[in-house]
Chain A
Amino acid sequence: MADFSLWVITSNLLLATRWTIALSLVAFVSGGAVGLLLLLARMSASGALRRFVSLYVEFFQGTPLLMQLFMLCFGAALFGVEISPWMAASLALTFWTSAFLTEIWRGCVESVPKGQWEAGSSVALTYVEQMRYVILPQALRIAVPPTVGFSVQVIKGTALASIIGFVELSRAGAMINNATFRPFLVYSITGLIYFALCYPLSLLAKSLERRLNAAG
């Protein structure tokens, strides 16, 4: 049997990290887009839409991401659709991410003082114009730090895709462990790679938040 040097283990884990990054990006970008739509629905005048969004958020925040992944995998099969682990993971992470982001952003929009809306309507701006020129620019500034902070949760969330068979960093770690029987080493390196991905984002979120508080 081949000898697995530290370098072989690390380089293989780093190769698999590409898929963790790709999945995180897809989940974050599409989750953000869906989250924005949900936010608009949540802020709309329609009671039915608002109720739908709060049920959606309750469901995706109140159930484990792992269950969501399983349900998506097997739910798609019920309709006779073959769904690849990559598709299932992307979709489930998109739903999950959108539920959290829409809730974070709602808090940001609601933290803009009511007077700003009233000022907007008193100069005859329409609802869309108030949103576009008055509320969102201010809400956006508040929203950046927690959004960056949540991206760390998304990266960590992608580890669960390994359970439904998508080969990313965690799955690669498990596979390499099965070949090398050096779990202590393999999972240490796996953990450190995740740390290298997440820690800069955590620091960025923290410093953005500090800057916002200093400015505000």
Chain B
Amino acid sequence: MKRNTSSHLATLAIMTTLGLVLAFVSLWFGVRPLPTSTVWQALVAFDPSNTEHMIVHELRLPRAMAALIGGGALGMAGALMQSLSRNPLADPGLLGVNGGAALGVVISIWVLGATAQSQLVFPALAGAGLAATLVLLLGGAVRPRGPDPTRLILAGAAVGALFLALTWAILILSRESLDTYRFWVLGGFTGITKSDLVALLPLFAVSLPMGLAAAFLLAPLILGDDTARALGVRVGFVRVFSTVAIVALCGLTVSMAGPIAFIGLVVPHLVRPLLGADLRLVAIGSFLTGAALAVLADILGRLILPGQEIEAGATMALIGGPSLILLVRFRREVAL
């Protein structure tokens, strides 16, 4: 018991260190090469009149933090989603929030003429919120016994498909929307500014603890609904709460960074062999690993083609696809 706990704590500490080190290292990468000493100076002795210091403070630091928070939120949401649905291939995107965010984005481009990435954050959040509410209602969240996970996923698929269809309808009507949308839909942390991050941080500050609480609440459900009920767990309430936490985490991330695939799907599979079957540990580990992986994807995107940037959403798919295949092929999977 004791031995296990301390080795798990060590694993979590390594994951934390890895994420923070990667985020720190990422400050040195960008379109404009900055000398090591300048980046360091920008951190320890910030000078607002220095353009290079401003690049670090206004662009690279928010970008690294957004990757940490967004990647972490997706990793945690993935662990919760797989546990909620008892399906190892479930991705939080199945709940339809990406479709809702996409619709919010194209409507704001089409109607309001938004073009900058930061103008898209709140329309995306509104769309994701609308989709999430519909999915919860259709998934049976108001029934006395609570939502049924299969119903939730079906509702998510239906709502997501409907919202994407509407998105495409608008894109066909308006060509200029397509240009901005094309960039948004790749997903990544490039366009994030300090003010976007500051605006979203309070919402993350609510939804991340909710996600952690959901992990603690969902953990007993691993033994089946009957056993969980017999242990005094209010299964219906736990499912509604967890679903709200998942859609909040995903909705915020997609609003901030666009849809980023694979983190929610792959990260819990990377984490389980290291931390075992306890969802509480897996959710925390998935947050830390998701954060590290998102920063890594963002760094790689700045390295692959010199002088150009590839969005983290694309590099993540490049990392995520093969690692999922490797996991399925070689690991002894810890099931749900």
Q: Do A and B bind each other?
A: no
Interface residues of B (CB under 8 A from A): none
